[in-house]
């Protein structure tokens, strides 16, 4: 799952960070092992501008190795992580960012480090057919950004991505539920659908989850539960195509209800 516009808030802040220390070296060639921090840093900037990410990360890291107590080292640590992110080296980016956060928790750039770590996880989210460990790591990291830095651009963007991440996790539960339902393992399917209903209430998958519960209960012959799920679906999503399908199923068995008051009394069943 790639960001729309690769160079959005991540790049804008990264460029601000690198701009703080750029333009401070001369052009004189100095032996590699003896290079001063500003020379190493600006070599890294030149490589970054040329999209030579390997050379850029090497030189940012060399600043930290050769001059660990300088102001250059602090910025270079963050810029190395940023370069890893741009180069899709997300594991390396996360390692570098966690080190930066551990070493500089009070840095003015800490918010950006937390945010870039979350985005490094977010960029790795894969389709719902794969294991969702990274998705959960992304969710935890995004929530941490929103909690630690409320009211910031980082928090606002994190909150948007939290919604998308939750939708993705709900989609995974739906996929598993459909798998069980297709195999006739209806109770297992219902349990998965109820996870979506209970834990992912704000996602787009809830109407389908309720409809699938109706289907499963009808297949099991448990008409009261099917009727209840249909009522909750109708009360909360009356214009949904899933409700229309559920209503048709229930109507075919003379189980359909249209009394809104009755729907309301069943709210606690799902939520």
Could you tell me if residue 55 is inside a domain?
yes
User: Would the pLDDT of 11 be above 80?
Assistant: no
User: Would the pLDDT of 84 be above 60?
Assistant: yes
Q: Do residues 215 and 181 make contact, with C-beta atoms less than 8 angstroms apart? A: yes
The tokens describing 239, both together, are 């214009």
- The whole-number pLDDT of residue 94 equals 97
Could you tell me if residue 117 is inside a domain?
yes
* CA distance linking residue 9 with residue 92, whole number of Å: 20
pTM value > 0.85 = no
Q: Which of 107, 8, 86, 7 is nearest to 44 (CA)?
A: 86
The tokens describing 197, both together, are 């209903």
Residues of the domain holding 60: 1-124
Lowest-confidence region among 29-43, 167-181, 253-267: 253-267
Could you tell me if residue 193 is inside a domain?
no
Question: In this structure, what is the dihedral angle of CA atoms 87, 24, 97, 170, given to the nearest 10 degrees?
Answer: -50
C-alpha distances in Å from residue 68, one per residue of 76, 78, 83: 10, 13, 19
User: Would the pLDDT of 197 be above 90?
Assistant: yes
User: Would the pLDDT of 179 be above 90?
Assistant: yes
**Residue percentage of the chain with pLDDT more than 90:** 71
How many beta carbons lie within 10 A of that of residue 149, not counting itself? 18
Q: How many domains does one find in the chain?
A: 1
pLDDT interval class at 16 (50, 70, 90):
low
Could you tell me if residue 230 is inside a domain?
no
- The DSSP result for 95-121, as a single string, is HHHHHHHHH-TT-TTHHHHHHHHHHHH
* CA distance linking residue 238 with residue 251, whole number of Å: 15
Q: Do residues 192 and 222 make contact, with C-beta atoms less than 8 angstroms apart? A: no
- The whole-number pLDDT of residue 264 equals 41
pLDDT interval class at 265 (50, 70, 90):
very low
Could you tell me if residue 102 is inside a domain?
yes
Q: Do residues 162 and 146 make contact, with C-beta atoms less than 8 angstroms apart? A: yes
- The whole-number pLDDT of residue 7 equals 44
Backbone angles phi, psi at 67, to 5 degrees: -135, 65
* CA distance linking residue 231 with residue 132, whole number of Å: 32
Could you tell me if residue 90 is inside a domain?
yes
User: Would the pLDDT of 22 be above 50?
Assistant: no
| H-helix segments, the chain | 9-19, 37-49, 53-66, 71-86, 90-103, 110-122, 133-148, 153-182, 186-199, 206-220, 223-236, 241-251, 260-265, 267-270
126 or 182: whose pLDDT is higher? 182
Q: What is the mean pLDDT of the chain?
A: 85
Could you tell me if residue 54 is inside a domain?
yes
How large is the angle between the packed helices 110-122 and 90-103, nearest 10 degrees? 160
Q: pLDDT of 136-178, one tens digit each?
A: 999 999 999 999 999 999 999 999 999 999 999 999 999 999 9
* CA distance linking residue 147 with residue 186, whole number of Å: 39
- The whole-number pLDDT of residue 130 equals 73
Could you tell me if residue 247 is inside a domain?
no
Q: pLDDT of 96-143, one tens digit each?
A: 999 999 999 999 999 999 999 999 999 999 776 677 899 999 999 999
**Residue 46's CATH number:** 1.25.40.10
Q: pLDDT of 37-71, one tens digit each?
A: 888 999 999 999 999 999 999 999 999 899 988 88
For residue 163, give every residue at least 6 positions away whose Cβ sits within 8 Å of its Cβ, in sequence order, or none.
202, 203
């Amino acid at each position: 799952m790639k960001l729309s516009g690769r160079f959005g808030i991540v790049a804008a802040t990264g460029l601000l960070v690198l701009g703080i220390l750029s333009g401070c070296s001369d052009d004189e060639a100095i032996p590699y092992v003896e290079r001063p921090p500003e020379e190493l840093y600006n070599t890294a900037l030149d490589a970054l501008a040329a999209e030579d990410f390997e050379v850029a990360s090497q030189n940012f890291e060399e600043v930290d190795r050769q001059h660990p107590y300088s102001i250059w080292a602090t910025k270079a640590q963050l810029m190395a992580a940023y370069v890893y992110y741009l180069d899709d080296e997300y594991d390396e980016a996360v390692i570098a960012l966690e080190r930066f956060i551990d070493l500089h928790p009070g840095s003015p750039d800490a918010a950006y480090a937390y945010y870039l770590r979350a985005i490094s996880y977010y960029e790795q989210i894969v389709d719902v057919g794969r294991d969702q460990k990274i998705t959960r790591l992304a969710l935890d990291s995004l929530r941490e950004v929103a909690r630690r830095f409320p009211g910031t651009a980082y928090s606002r963007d994190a909150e948007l991505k939290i919604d998308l991440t939750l939708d993705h996790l709900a989609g995974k539960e739906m996929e598993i539920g459909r798998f069980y339902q297709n195999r006739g393992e209806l109770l297992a399917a219902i349990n998965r659908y109820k996870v979506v209903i209970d834990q992912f209430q704000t996602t787009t998958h809830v109407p389908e989850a309720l409809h699938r519960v109706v289907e499963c209960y009808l297949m099991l012959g448990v008409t009261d539960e099917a009727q209840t799920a249909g009522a909750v679906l109708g009360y909360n999503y009356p214009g949904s195509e899933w409700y229309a399908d559920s209503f048709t199923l229930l109507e075919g068995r003379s189980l359909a209800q249209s009394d809104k008051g009755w729907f309301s009394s069943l709210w606690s069943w799902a939520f």
